């Protein structure tokens, strides 16, 4: 059931997905820089962006890489990726790649990126064990995820459900370390500010997959709760991310 919710969510959101971030190109630049600092992609590197969505970050990685395989289970999301020689779209999910069920264009990779993917994976330890086998010597894998508790301006039921569903970054780092990679966990934050009505419209459009667990009536009730808690013209908060980097010997 949860997989159906996630798949339907991204299929519905694909045509307007990038609009959720167009308000602030600075965030895309900031996150892309944080990714590049850790993965250190260079012109000879083969990269896979697993769970790439519309390729928002794959496009930036491609500026440094030889090729980027853009992997996502949503064909609708992949259809939004620009047509570029360096960007290779491939339908599949993290478990498909780790389990050898995805037909990859390359046998091994210099860098793997999983941004906000890990919470969709049923058994992260098994998945990570499979993925690290695809790394070349000196290869890097970067997992970007939210912490297990967030300070987003959401309604109480959504925040409670998030905490229930979200893995702990420390546990994920331990699982990656268990594969034999040298592992480092760091946190960085980015300030966000929205016009209140703009943010409420993003919630109404279920910009987070988490919000697809709520029906229309529940969502409208939640929006009223957010509006009551944030009566001003703008909503400001800090978006914190965990960066888990694993490096092969």
Is residue 212 domain-resident? no
- For residues 117 and 57, is the Cβ–Cβ distance under 8 A? no
Q: Is pLDDT above 70 for 6?
A: no
Q: How far apart (Å, rounded) are the C-alpha atoms in residues 248 and 102?
A: 22
Is residue 57 domain-resident? yes
Is residue 78 domain-resident? yes
Is residue 40 domain-resident? yes
Q: Is pLDDT above 70 for 10?
A: no
- In the chain, how many domains are there? 1
Q: How far apart (Å, rounded) are the C-alpha atoms in residues 45 and 139?
A: 9
Is residue 230 domain-resident? no
Q: How far apart (Å, rounded) are the C-alpha atoms in residues 90 and 111?
A: 16
**144-179 pLDDT tens trace:** 999 999 999 999 999 999 999 999 999 999 999 999
The torsion defined by the Cα of 94, 99, 102 and 108, in degrees rounded to 10, comes to 90
Is residue 208 domain-resident? no
Here the CATH number for the domain that contains residue 166 is 3.40.50.150
pLDDT number for residue 13: 53
Q: CA-based angle 247:56:65, to the nearest 5? A: 50
Nearest to 191 by CA among 246, 131, 241: 241
Nearest to 2 by CA among 214, 218, 216, 213: 213
How many other C-beta atoms lie within 10 A of the C-beta of residue 212? 19
pLDDT number for residue 5: 47
Q: Is pLDDT above 80 for 136?
A: yes
List of E strands, 8-124: 46-50, 67-72, 87-91, 109-115
**44-96 pLDDT tens trace:** 999 999 999 999 999 999 999 999 999 999 999 999 999 999 999 999 999 99
pLDDT number for residue 18: 56
pLDDT number for residue 25: 83
pLDDT number for residue 172: 98
Give the confidence band of 115 by pLDDT, cuts at 50, 70, 90: very high
Buried-state track 64-89, b at ≥16 Cβ within 10 A, e below 16:
bbebbbbbbbbebbbebbeeeebbbb
- For residues 131 and 98, is the Cβ–Cβ distance under 8 A? yes
- For residues 84 and 103, is the Cβ–Cβ distance under 8 A? no
Least reliable range by pLDDT among 18-27, 98-107, 122-131, 212-221: 18-27
Boundaries of domain holding 83: 2-191+240-247
Is residue 215 domain-resident? no
Q: How far apart (Å, rounded) are the C-alpha atoms in residues 172 and 240?
A: 16
Q: Is pLDDT above 60 for 8?
A: no
The torsion defined by the Cα of 95, 206, 28 and 59, in degrees rounded to 10, comes to 50
pLDDT number for residue 9: 45
Is residue 205 domain-resident? no
pLDDT number for residue 209: 87
**183-208 pLDDT tens trace:** 999 999 999 999 999 999 999 999 88
Q: CA-based angle 38:188:118, to the nearest 5? A: 70
pTM value? 0.90
Output Rg (C-alpha) for the chain, integer angstroms. 18
**12-48 pLDDT tens trace:** 554 555 556 544 788 899 999 999 999 999 999 999 9
**214-232 pLDDT tens trace:** 999 999 999 999 999 999 9
pLDDT number for residue 2: 45
């Amino acid at each position: 059931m949860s997989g159906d919710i996630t798949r339907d969510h991204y299929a519905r959101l694909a045509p307007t997905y990038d609009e959720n971030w167009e308000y602030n190109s600075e965030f895309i630049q900031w996150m892309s820089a944080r990714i590049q600092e850790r993965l250190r992609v260079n012109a000879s590197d083969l990269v896979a962006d697993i769970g790439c969505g519309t390729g928002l970050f794959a496009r930036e990685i491609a500026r440094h890489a030889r090729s980027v395989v853009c992997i996502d289970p949503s064909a609708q999301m992949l259809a939004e990726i620009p047509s570029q020689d360096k960007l290779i779209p491939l339908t599949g999910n993290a478990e498909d790649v780790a389990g050898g069920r995805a037909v990859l264009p390359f046998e091994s990779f210099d860098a793997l990126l999983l941004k906000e993917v890990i919470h969709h994976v049923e058994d992260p330890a098994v998945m990570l064990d499979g993925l690290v086998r695809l790394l070349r010597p000196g290869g890097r894998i970067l997992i970007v995820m939210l912490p297990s508790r967030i300070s987003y301006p959401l309604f109480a039921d959504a925040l409670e459900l998030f905490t229930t569903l979200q893995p702990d970054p420390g546990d994920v780092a331990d699982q990656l370390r268990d594969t034999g990679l040298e592992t480092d966990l760091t946190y960085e934050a980015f300030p966000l500010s929205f016009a209140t009505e703009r943010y409420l419209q993003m919630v109404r459009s279920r910009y987070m997959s988490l919000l697809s667990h709520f029906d229309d009536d529940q969502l409208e009730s939640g929006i009223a709760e957010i509006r009551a808690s944030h009566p001003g013209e703008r909503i400001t908060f800090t978006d914190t991310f965990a960066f888990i980097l694993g490096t092969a010997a």
